[in-house]
């Protein structure tokens, strides 16, 4: 079968690679001079390369796509962002918040900046939402459908059962943060991370975008050597 892919954004290129790997004749059409769409690196100023969009890659590192397509064999290499998040000291003189790959180092920073109660809450938050976020990524990795969705989340425990779990996933990111933490600076830091996905954290269904921060302690964002376009 011959397949024509219109546009060379990273999602289109991933689809094209899988189709080609399965034996199809694939042609990718792109009107730009550079491949990759927003995930590309271009020379904006003489001698200076600039990433058009994201400079740190997050979700694709949790999908298995990089390994399945053997992109390291073609030169892709990442440097882990560790720490992966930082919030400056505030006007009251409280120290900065630093989100390390190591959970305990992160909790120590939260304790110094926000208090031990929020540090303990963050430790529990990672323990609960880390597995949940991993299941979200598992759901992304299969054909869409209710059966696959149910299998992806089967076995997750939530106080109150499946209906409570559904409500937690469907709530807003702001509501999730209010239920876990007290300090507004900590909540703002995590809301900023969640908002990288697009919608504001006041929107329903954005709780998993905040919860995804828990996975950063498993595999943090990565900067591709040579710029985002190296992907």
Is 90 exceeded by the pLDDT of residue 26? yes
The residue with tokens 């390390």 is: 100
CA dihedral 99, 104, 194, 211 (to 10 degrees): 170
CATH match for 2-80+224-230 among 3.10.20.740, 1.10.240.10, 3.30.365.10, 3.50.50.60: 3.50.50.60
Distance CA 50, CA 229 (A): 10
Provide the b/e sequence for 82-104 (b: ≥16 CB within 10 Å). ebbbebeeeeeeeeebbbbbebe
Supply the pLDDT for residue 141. Answer: 75
Evaluate if residue 161 carries a pLDDT over 60.
Answer: no
Q: How many Cβ atoms sit within 10 Å of the Cβ of residue 109?
A: 22
The predicted model gives 62-91 an average pLDDT of 94
Q: Say whether pLDDT at 125 is over 70.
A: yes
Residue 146 has pLDDT above 70, yes or no: no
| Contact criterion met (CB below 8 Å) for 228 and 52 | yes
- Map residue 210 onto helix, strand or coil: helix
Range with lowest mean pLDDT among 13-17, 65-69, 166-170: 166-170
Pairing of the two strands 48-51 and 41-45? antiparallel
Nearest-angstrom CA–CA distance, 105 and 101: 8
Q: What percent of the chain has pLDDT over 90?
A: 74
Higher per-residue pLDDT: 151 or 125: 125
- Checking if the pLDDT of 105 tops 70, the result is yes
pLDDT for the residue 57? 93
Residue 206 near residue 89 (C-beta atoms within 8 A):
no
* pLDDT-derived band at 168, boundaries 50, 70, 90: confident
pLDDT at 153 > cutoff 70? no
pLDDT band (50, 70, 90) for residue 45? confident
Do the bridges between strand 2-6 and strand 25-29 make them parallel or antiparallel, or are there none, so unpaired? parallel
Residue in the structure block whose two tokens are 């024509």? 4
The model's confidence at residue 44, banded by pLDDT at 50, 70 and 90, is confident
Contacts of 68 (CB under 8 A, 6+ apart): none
Structure tokens at 193: 């991370």
d(CA 15, CA 50): 25
pLDDT confidence band for 156 (50 / 70 / 90) = low
- The mean pLDDT of 66-92, rounded to a whole number, is 94
**Domains of the chain: which residue ranges?**
2-80+224-230, 85-217
Please say if the pLDDT value at position 95 is more than 90: yes
In the chain, which ranges are E strands?
2-6, 25-29, 41-45, 48-51, 78-80, 85-87, 97-99, 222-224
In the predicted structure, residue 179 carries a pLDDT above the cut 80: yes
């Amino acid at each position: 079968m011959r397949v024509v892919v219109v546009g060379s954004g990273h999602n289109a290129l991933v689809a094209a690679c899988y189709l080609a790997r399965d034996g199809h004749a694939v042609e990718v059409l792109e009107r730009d001079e550079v491949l990759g769409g927003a995930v590309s690196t271009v020379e904006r100023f003489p001698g200076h390369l600039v990433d058009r969009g994201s400079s740190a890659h997050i979700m694709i590192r949790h999908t298995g796509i990089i390994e399945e397509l053997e992109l390291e064999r073609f030169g892709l290499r990442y440097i882990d962002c560790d720490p992966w998040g930082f919030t400056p000291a505030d006007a009251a003189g409280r120290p900065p918040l630093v989100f390390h790959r190591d959970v305990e180092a992160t909790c120590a920073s939260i304790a110094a900046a926000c208090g031990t109660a929020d540090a303990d809450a963050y430790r529990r938050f990672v323990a609960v939402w880390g597995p949940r976020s991993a299941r979200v990524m598992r759901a992304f990795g299969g054909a869409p459908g209710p059966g696959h969705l149910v299998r992806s989340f089967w076995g997750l425990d939530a106080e109150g059962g499946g209906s409570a779990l559904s409500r937690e996933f469907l709530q807003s990111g702001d509501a999730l943060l209010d239920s876990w933490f007290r300090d507004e600076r900590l909540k703002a830091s995590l809301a900023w991370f969640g908002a990288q996905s697009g919608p504001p954290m006041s929107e329903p269904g954005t709780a998993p975008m905040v919860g995804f921060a828990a996975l950063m302690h498993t595999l943090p964002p990565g900067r591709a050597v040579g710029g985002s376009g190296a992907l």
